[in-house]
Amino acid sequence: MFTGIITDIGTLRAVEQRGDLRARIGTGYAVAGIDLGASIACDGVCLTVVAKGQDAAQGGWFDVDISAETVSKTNLSAWQQGRRVNLERALKVGDELGGHIVSGHVDGLAEVVAMRDDGDSTRVTLRAPKALARFIAPKGSVALNGTSLTVNEVDGCDFGINFIPHTKQMTTWGDVAVGDSVNLEIDTLARYVARLAEMS
């Protein structure tokens, strides 16, 4: 489990198609403290560390394998060397829950359809798949590329998010442009509330 609070921005050092997709991600995390088999959310996708190391010149790194199923459901198909990636290590008992409960299981892709500056912040409008839009509510939570965010407004399948300068600096949201596809995970609570309503 994760919180959607990004704690590092990694860089893709290599992406290689083997039986699965293998990616090497450079990180500022102390790799000595990362166990093989550990879960790390990479742009919101829970991935398993399969190798790790430290280079004198470039610092720490870890490798992840990405199945064809994961590639088909996320924006990881666009991963290329040099891309920056939002990272979050798994939640530990006693950690501060600063965002919301995030599983790292992406539900689908949202498209960035508009962006505009609003003071020092940036207002972004995204379009969710119709099947997921009903789970998104004003003042509710979503995880986008692994970042826990509050929804400002909803209009059909479109919803708005506000990014303050701190968020843009501490995540990859400063790199995003209109037309980009981002990993969307809906709030787990919203999913269960909708399911209960269907059964009542």
Which has the higher per-residue pLDDT, 37 or 191? 37
Domain limits for position 178: 108-199
Whether residue 1 lies inside any domain: the answer is no
Indicate the pTM of the whole model.
Answer: 0.93
**33 phi and psi, to 5 degrees?**
-95, 5
Same domain? 67 vs 113? no
Please tell me whether residue 92 adopts helix, strand or coil conformation.
coil
Q: How far apart are CA 6 and CA 116, in angstroms?
A: 23
Q: Do residue 128 and residue 191 come from a single domain?
A: yes
User: Where residue 25 sits, what CATH number does that domain have?
Assistant: 2.40.30.20
Residue 95 lies in a domain: no
> Of 89, 121, 137, which residue constitutes the final position of a domain?
89
> What is the tally of structural domains in the chain?
2
Q: What is the DSSP letter of 136?
A: -
Give the H/E segment covering residue 67: none
Instruction: Give the model's pLDDT for residue 198.
Output: 73
CA distance 155 to 69: 30
95: pLDDT confidence band, cut at 50, 70 and 90?
confident
Indicate if the pLDDT at residue 15 is higher than 90: yes
pLDDT value of position 125: 98
Any domain includes 98: no
Instruction: Report helix, strand or coil for 146.
Output: coil
Give me the mean pLDDT over the 158-170 stretch: 96
**What does the pLDDT look like over 96-154, one tens digit per residue?**
777 788 999 999 999 999 999 999 999 999 999 999 999 999 999 999 999 999 999 99
User: Is there a single domain that holds both residue 142 and residue 84?
Assistant: no
Q: Which residue has the higher pLDDT, 57 or 125?
A: 125
Average pLDDT score over the chain: 93
